[in-house]
Amino acid sequence: MRAYGKIKSILFFIMVVAVTVGCSNKRNTSATRAYHELTTRYNIYHNANKTYNQLLEDQLTTTSVNWFEPLSIHPNKLTADKTTPGGLFDGVIEKATKAIIEHSISSKPQRDPSKAHSEEYRQWLRQEEFNPFIKNTWLLLGKAYVENGDYNEALSVFAEIQRIYPLDINLISETQLYMLRSYVALNKMYDAKNMVYILQLRNLPPTLTHLYNQEYANYLLQNNELEEAIPYLVKTINNEKIYMQKKRLQFLLGQIYLLTGNKQNANKSFRDIKSLRTPPLLNEYASIYLTDSDSMTNIINQELQLTHNKYNTTNENNIPAYSNSTNTYIIPSIVREKIYAPQEKPGSNKSETSILLEMLMERLKEENLETDFPEKIVPLSTEASTSAPVEREPVDTRTSPEELKARLEQNAAEALKRNNASANIKNRQQLLKDREKLREARLKEREKELKERQRKREAQLKQREKERQKRIKKQK
């Protein structure tokens, strides 16, 4: 029995060593693919994904919130002004990176001659990644970068995913949804709009419908399209599985209803928040909004106006603070607005510069009544205006005979060059045609030779058959 146990232990040790050595990611066999898939799925991805989901839920209770301004759809309200990379999800990023480095299989397998005519098999050989589960790790890596607020790194990961898996439409669609979120966070609304068009032209699977509604609502809210965002936000709330996130989005929905003047639906949203499971702080603020919705609307508008003014005083063109008095419920604009666009009066040929100068002169006259100003100012513009014309010295535009002769010679030389070039092109074309004719003649001669050989071969076979028949008759 002891000998049997020793033999069993030795065999087990040999098997472990063989598996360890033979399952390197430099080799691509069915055994190595199965080994690395299982290791990626259960040893690394399972724990990393569990940590990722737990951190998402923890954000809902640990992130500080200003309840008097519209909430963000995502609890980590991070923007493009983040200075240092990294965050809570660094552990997930480390695990995902380790899985990709240690378990990615990019080497080509040994070809199977029996499947050489299979298009599916040839397509499988063309892929860059042969670990079938590693794509989930790539996606988790990009999502972790998004949650950390490192949006540029996330976009790089998503671009790499699209390069490695160009035929996996569902995977590409999911990465593009997170790219949309990253573009919105980076204030790249032009890129975000293009991504929305791409996603709307595609039939998304049911598993991505909730994510699409959420990210499209986020895009619309950041783009100040409050009314358009409400239906998608309602769908997101109805399909949300995390209880705390569901209540946050209901609170946001109530705020949007208040901003758009729909107090009845706003009160209903705040009433839906209140329950025994809802945290006391959220219940308290929902009660405050229900008590005096008009005051809450004014407070939200003030918060929005402060943020809006802060944004407009720090833009690239140093445009002064600007507020739109006709719309008192705007979320801070991301797309730069054009503050002033002077237009020409109908029936006038004055330029914009001329009009602005006249407006300036009128203002100066009002502020300095005792000072005499000239009646007209010549605008610094090449456009037409009603100002006095400027006298210019006469210029002799006639051409001398020498200049005319030089110009004609130059034109003749250029024409000669063009003719030579055209002739060269024609000669080349003729040469190509001659070569093609020669090639066709050689092919015809080759076909004749093959036919003649075939004819002779058939004649020889017939002759041999006749001789064989004669010998058979003689033998009889």
- Over its length of 476 residues, how does the chain's per-residue pLDDT go in tens digits? 555 555 555 445 444 444 554 456 666 677 787 888 888 888 889 999 999 999 998 888 887 888 878 888 998 776 556 678 888 899 999 999 988 888 888 777 777 677 767 777 777 677 778 788 899 999 999 999 999 999 999 999 999 999 999 889 999 999 999 999 999 999 999 999 999 999 999 899 999 999 999 999 999 999 989 999 999 999 999 999 999 999 999 999 999 998 888 888 988 999 989 888 888 888 888 888 887 655 556 566 655 555 555 444 444 443 333 333 333 333 233 223 333 333 444 444 444 445 555 555 565 555 445 545 444 434 433 343 344 444 444 545 555 666 766 777 777 777 777 767 666 666 767 777 887 888 788 888 888 888 888 888 888 888 888 888 888 887 76
81 close to 152: Cβ distance less than 8 angstroms = no
Q: What is the pLDDT of residue 180?
A: 95
CA angle in degrees (0–180, nearest 5) for 452-457-460: 125
For residues 289 and 302, give the distance between their C-alpha atoms in angstroms, rounded to a whole number: 15
Domain boundaries, the chain: 1-167, 224-340
Joined tokens for residue 421? 């070039």
User: Is-contact 186 334, C-beta < 8 A?
Assistant: no
DSSP for 183-220, written as a single string: HHHTT-HHHHHHHHHHHHTS---GGGHHHHHHHHHHHH
Contacts of range 287-293, beta carbons closer than 8 Å, 24 or more positions apart? 289/254, 289/255, 289/258, 293/258, 293/263, 293/266, 293/267
pTM over 0.75: no
Alpha helical stretches, state H, 223-277: 226-239, 243-259, 263-273
Cα–Cα distance, 139 to 195 (Å, whole number): 18
Question: How confident is the model at residue 281, as a pLDDT?
Answer: 87
Q: How many other CB atoms sit within 10 Å of the CB of residue 367?
A: 8
